[in-house]
Amino acid sequence: MAELLKAIKGMNDILPPESARWEWLEDKVRALMRRYGYQNMRTPIVEPTALFVRGLGEVTDIVEKEMYSFEDSLNGDKLTLRPEGTAGAVRAINEHNFLYEGGKRLYYIGPMFRHERPQKGRYRQFHQVGAEVLGFAGPDVDAELILMTAALWRDLGLVVGQDVKLQINSLGEPDERLAHRTALIAHLEAHADVLDEDGKRRLHSNPLRILDTKNPAMQPVVEAAPKLIDFLGEASLAHFSAVKQALDVAGIPYEVNTRLVRGMDYYNLTVFEWVTDKLGAQGTVCGGGRYDGLIAQLGGKPAPAVGWGLGMERLLLLLQEVGIAAPSTAPDAFAMVFAGTPMPQVLATLEALRAQGVNVVLNPAGKDGPASPKSQFKKADASGARYALVFGPDEVVQGVVSVKPLREAGEQATRALSEAAQWAPSLLVSAQS
């Protein structure tokens, strides 16, 4: 027997019935995006490696340790499986001059790839929903983007402030971050003996990321470090104040987390994360912020931008943890066919029902013919269908089918095959009530 081939560790198959939960979540996301005026975009999963090195920052964890990069054997190009969606979205915007007619609201859903140790809620192939608003500079756009995530939580049944909590911060502008960086390096150098190897490595390359350390031994030094918000100028503070005011008026609770920096170098001004305490160490469900310099950094005409990304695996885990289930995907009807029944009439009837929106599953015959009635009724019950359509040979010859309720009280009824389109709605009554 040939060796059984399996999926790569950390890259998971999604099969029924689990895939139905994914489809339900994707439907919720698409409906939300339509309400807010976002349009779908789709970009390649493979991009030039330089896109992420330039866009995310050469000394970020993603670029240094997590990217799946390789050399194209045909032409020697250095390529990378996308580790996140924003850089590719901006590359596409620039390449197609997509802001020529003004700002855009865009979203995408798709797989991302990071080479890291797989654990619950953290995989090598994971799926992300991203929303990007390009060409709009005001704090009202930042606020609306955050409010849109709050609307998604409500749509899914999550409680804001309980199941998910909002943390926000401002990273200011580049000159303000530079002044803070100088003060931060001086502070950390004075406590260099406390820094771990990762902190020492980042001290001069990316000291802001040291503030995000999870090392308990470094917490006192981090807590005492200069805070970026104290270096912000009047315009940055006004921008941040306007975002907070919009959230206050909308009734969205939040915490200002001065240590929130996010993992990519391209952010400025507003940054935010939606976090939960119900998933252990994997607490961030959604995060994003403003990245006004990235479009120009990747070769486009300077334009402001802001966006967020959420991990679908982690969100589905959270929904499961708090007991929120996707709606049933059971069919409306389960069709069973007994031995000797003429199949052309059966198939034509089922197609007439499906044309009216009825979801019907046919129990196909095996190589030895249809299964026993007892076996078929057992399968009908297990399918979750509300009705069984019983096609017997005598009934079909007479032009009728028996419709038997499986989930509620009611008498078995006989229906004319030729009038399937007329009685099809009766199979949907329970779903519509």
Neighbours of 309 (CB within 10 A): 17
CA 36, distance to chain mean position in Å, is: 17
Task: Find the mean pLDDT for residues 245-258.
Answer: 95
CB 90 within 8 A of CB 108: no
Neighbours of 289 (CB within 10 A): 26
Fold for the domain defined by 18-172+232-321: BirA Bifunctional Protein; domain 2 (3.30.930)
Q: Which amino acid is at 13?
A: D
Superfamily of domain 333-432 in the CATH hierarchy: Anticodon-binding domain (3.40.50.800)
| pLDDT of 431 strictly over 50 | no
CA distance to 122, 125, 350, 351, 357, per residue, from 424 (Å)? 45, 42, 10, 11, 8
Task: Find the mean pLDDT for residues 353-370.
Answer: 86
| pLDDT tier at 43, thresholds 50, 70, 90 | very high
pLDDT of residue 429: 62
Domain ranges, ordered by start, for the chain? 18-172+232-321, 333-432
| pLDDT of 267 strictly over 90 | no
pLDDT of residue 228: 87
Winning range, highest mean pLDDT, from 171-175, 281-285, 357-361:
357-361
* Per-residue model confidence as pLDDT tens digits over 75-126: 989 999 999 999 999 999 999 999 999 999 999 999 999 988 888 878 899 9
Tokens 């391209």 label which residue?
A: 266
* Per-residue model confidence as pLDDT tens digits over 368-411: 677 788 888 899 999 999 999 999 999 999 999 999 999 887 78
| pLDDT tier at 47, thresholds 50, 70, 90 | very high
pLDDT of residue 59: 65
Question: Residue 130, CB half-sphere, CA atoms under 13 Å: how many?
Answer: 26
